[in-house]
Structure 1
Amino acid sequence: MSYKVEALPDSYAGLGEGPHWDVDRQSLYYVDLEVGFIHRYDFKQNKVYKAQIEGETFASFILPIENRPQEFAVGCNRRCVVVQWDGVATVAKVLRVLFEVQPGLEDNRINDAKTDPKGRFVGGTMCCSGDIFTQWKGELYNWQAGGQVTKIRGEVGISNGLAWDVKAKKFYFIDTNTHEVVAYDYNVDTGAVANPKVVFDLRKIRPNTPLYPDGMTIDTEGNIYVATFNGGSVFKVNPSSGKILLEIKIPTTQITSVAFGGPQLDILFVTTANKFDQPVPAGTTYKVTGLNAKGLPGVPLKI
């Protein structure tokens, strides 16, 4: 198979993360995590718009809010806030806080988060001081409109990639520090998880230099796509067999996350990072075409 990897113009983010394709606006939203910036790549214009969130230094994810075209849920430290942005202005405003997690743990922050197929928030935390790869102070949560924050699991190292397969009734989750992708049975009606099972162990691919799995997405056939921080690749994996179907090589090493998008939902968007002085083109956001696969539309958050 011949796929093609192309950089999006002016798409740099020092720590690009959280790509989410919005069907209504035909735009890819993502964040520059450690500077509190949110980005929008307008597909038709082939142009990236960037905004600083007023008064915030972190933006770990961005999720469009249902029926509110200029409002987004964004992770700022341990809070999930509602931000107002028209997608063009260079500054975005915080309107209010939806909820906060682990309020006492000042060294922790929310990391990756997504909406499940019903529009619930699912996301988790990590410790961001000291050696982040050896700490287990994070937790994974869900939240739904009108409800409380519910802890799904504790003792998480770095809460990362999330994906759902509605047909198989599965939820896939990555804790970067375990080097594993875990599948849970998922109850879409309640958001409850059960029966964790490791479906992909990245230590087995390169035992000498273990790959750190980061963000993740899924295609319509149920294959998962796992971004590897320090690995320079996205792995397409059949989670039933654990078999690697394709290794998608990206021209920089710190691959942070992936999301399908584009008018046909057949373009894989890939965010990357430039941590610890990587060479150019680190921090560029890419599009991968020719994969002969389709993703699912991003779900807005119900509040």
Structure 2
Amino acid sequence: MSHKVEQLPDSYAYLGEGPHWDIETQSLYFVDIKGGKLLRYDYKENKTYGAKVENEEHTSFVIPVQGEIGKFAVGCGCRVVIVAWDGAAPVAKVERIAYTLQQGDEVCKHRFNDGKADPRGRLLVGSMYLEHNVKKPFGELYRLEKGQPMAVVRSGLTISNGLTWNERTNKFYFIDSYDHEVTEYDYDLDTGVTSNPKVVFKHAEHMPDGMTIDTEGNIYVATFNGHTVYKINPSTQEVLLAIKLPTKQITSVAFGGPNLDILYVTTAEYVDQPAPAGFTFKVTGLGAKGLPMRKVTI
């Protein structure tokens, strides 16, 4: 089956990341990490809106909050904040801090990176050392549950990245980018506890970044510096498809559209990449569908 790759209008981000498809608004939310910005692509209007998060330099993910219209959990540096945004205004307002990595008055040397809501609405979010080029295993993966303190799921990470779940098989997939691996875990949906890690994909050359899953349990892995999103059967570890993009730094993926059959792909222009680096793309004609993305309970 042939697929088609097209660029979304006005979707430029210096370091695009964290795509989240919201069924209710038929919108793709994503971030520009370096600009401290939120973006929203409106499917019906075929238009992209952007907002600066007030007083913030970094935004690493954006997830709608369950039961609160116009409220989002956003990774901002070493904090997870609740932000109010109507999806169109040029500024998004921080309402409160939900979690922080900072201890007392110390200067925070880490920041939150990729984050997603699990099938029960818990927020799983990882951290990384502030300097991208420092390969130090100081990052952690956290489980943030309403009314609970932050729980550490994994330690010793470099760049905590892609996350996705197969609720049917109770599996959780996770990427630590500098390992060049995708690891599958057994996932207890009642407790959020992971066990029995198993590597299901490894790429010798390209660094995996963001990730999503389709209804058949195949995972889609964006490769930073690889021009490619790989479709992988994690059971057989077979690469089923290599989706080529017209730019190099592929950061993340999410299924969306009215039928959840469009694969949205964020990219980066990190360090002097030629156009169309940094734009978000849609891939149609894949013959696959994604799962509804969960809002976060926080």
- What interval of TM-score do these two structures reach, taking the shorter chain for normalisation? over 0.9
Between the aligned partners of 1:20 and 1:131, the Cα distance in structure 2 is 27
Distance 1:102 1:5 in 2: 41
Q: 2: CA distance between counterparts of 1:300 and 1:36?
A: 21
TM-score after normalising by structure 2:
0.98
2:59 counterpart of 1:59: yes
Q: What residue ranges of structure 2 are gaps of 5+ in the alignment?
A: none
Shift in Å, 1:270:
0.1
Distance 1:189 1:109, change over 3 A: same
Corresponding residue SS for 2:215: coil
Shift of 1:202: 0.9
Counterpart position of 1:111: 113
Cα deviations by residue, 1:127-163 (Å, 9 ceiling, x for unpaired): 122623x221100000111111100010001000000
> Corresponding residue for 2:6?
6
Residue of structure 2 in register with 1:124 after alignment? 126
Give SS of 1:35's match: coil
Superimposed CA distance per residue, residues 45-100 of structure 1 (whole angstroms, 9 cap, x where no aligned partner)? 00000000000010000000011111000000111000000001000100000111
Say whether residues 1:185 and 2:180 are aligned partners: no
User: For the residues of structure 1 that align with 2:236 and 2:120, how far apart are their CA atoms?
Assistant: 27
| Alignment of 1:279 onto 2:279 | no
CA distance in 1, matches of 2:234, 2:168: 14
The Cα shift of 1:107 comes to: 2.2
CA distance in 2 between counterparts of 1:247 and 1:130 reads 27
Query: What secondary structure, in the 3-state scheme, does the structure 2 residue paired with 1:34 have?
Result: coil
Partner of 1:20: 20
Partner of 1:151: 152
Letter in 2 for 1:141: Y
Within a 5 Å distance, the mapping from 1:178-257 to structure 2 comes to 178-203=179-204, 210-257=205-252
In structure 1, the gaps of 5 or more residues are: 204-209
Given that 2:19 and 2:266 are in contact with CA atoms closer than 8 Å, whether structure 1 keeps it comes out as: yes
Output the aligned Cα RMSD: 0.9
Structure 2 residue 16 is matched with structure 1 residue 32: no
Alignment-derived partner of residue 267 in structure 1 = 262
The CA deviation at 1:108 is: 1.0
| Cα distance in 1 for residues equivalent to 2:242 and 2:38 | 29
Is the contact made by 2:139 and 2:159 (CA closer than 8 Å) also made in structure 1? yes
Deviation at 1:254, TM superposition (A): 0.0
Conserved? CA contact 2:7–2:279, under 8 Å:
yes
SS at match of 1:177: helix
- Percent of counterpart pairs with the same letter? 56
Q: What's the TM-score once normalised by structure 1's chain length?
A: 0.96
Aligned length: 296
Following TM superposition, the consecutive aligned residue runs of length 4 or more in structure 1 with deviations greater than 6 angstroms are none
Supply the AA of the counterpart residue of 1:44: K
Residue 85 of structure 2: aligned partner: 85
2:206 & 2:136 partners in 1: Cα distance? 17
Q: Which amino acid aligns with 2:233?
A: N
How far, CA to CA, are the matches of 1:297 and 1:78 in structure 2?
28
Maintained 8 Å contact 2:175/2:182: yes
Match of 2:173 in 1: 172
